[in-house]
């Protein structure tokens, strides 16, 4: 699923307070893209931390999510 498909799911609501002037689906897609980047960056940092600590990625990810 791409970002615009995620935005166009039935029942999704857009913020009425968005005053950026951007098209709401486009604004939502850009938000999701930034959120995905943040998520991927966090996972990369967890992988690096796990290697540095000599622990498995799954162990660290599970404890991090706790």
How many independent structural domains does the chain possess?
Answer: 1
Instruction: Record the tokens describing residue 49, joined without a space.
Output: 């931390």
pLDDT in tens, 7-28: 454 445 444 444 556 688 999 9
26 located within any domain: yes
* 52 belongs to a structural domain: yes
Q: Does 10 reside within a domain?
A: no
Count of C-beta atoms within a 10 Å radius of residue 24: 15
Any idea which of 5-9, 53-57, 61-65 has the lowest mean pLDDT? 5-9
Full domain range(s) for residue 41: 22-66
Would 48 be classed as within a structural domain?
yes
Report pLDDT for 1.
Answer: 47
Asked if residue 1 belongs to a domain, the reply is no
Identify which of 30, 29, 35 has the alpha carbon closest to the alpha carbon of residue 9.
Answer: 29
Q: According to the model, what pLDDT value does residue 66 have?
A: 82
Which one-letter DSSP state was computed for residue 16? T
pTM of the model: 0.58
Distance CA 2, CA 33 (A): 10
Q: What is the pLDDT of residues 23-49, one digit of tens each?
A: 889 999 999 999 999 999 999 999 999
Interatomic CA distance for residues 13 and 30, integer angstroms: 15
Please report whether residue 49 resides in a domain: yes
Inside any domain, residue 55? yes
């Amino acid at each position: 699923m791409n970002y615009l498909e995620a935005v166009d799911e039935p029942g999704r609501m857009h913020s009425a307070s968005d005053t950026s002037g951007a098209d709401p689906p486009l604004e939502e897609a850009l938000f999701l893209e930034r959120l995905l980047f943040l998520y991927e960056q966090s996972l990369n940092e967890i992988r690096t931390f796990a290697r540095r600590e000599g622990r498995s990625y799954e162990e660290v990810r599970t404890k991090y999510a706790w």
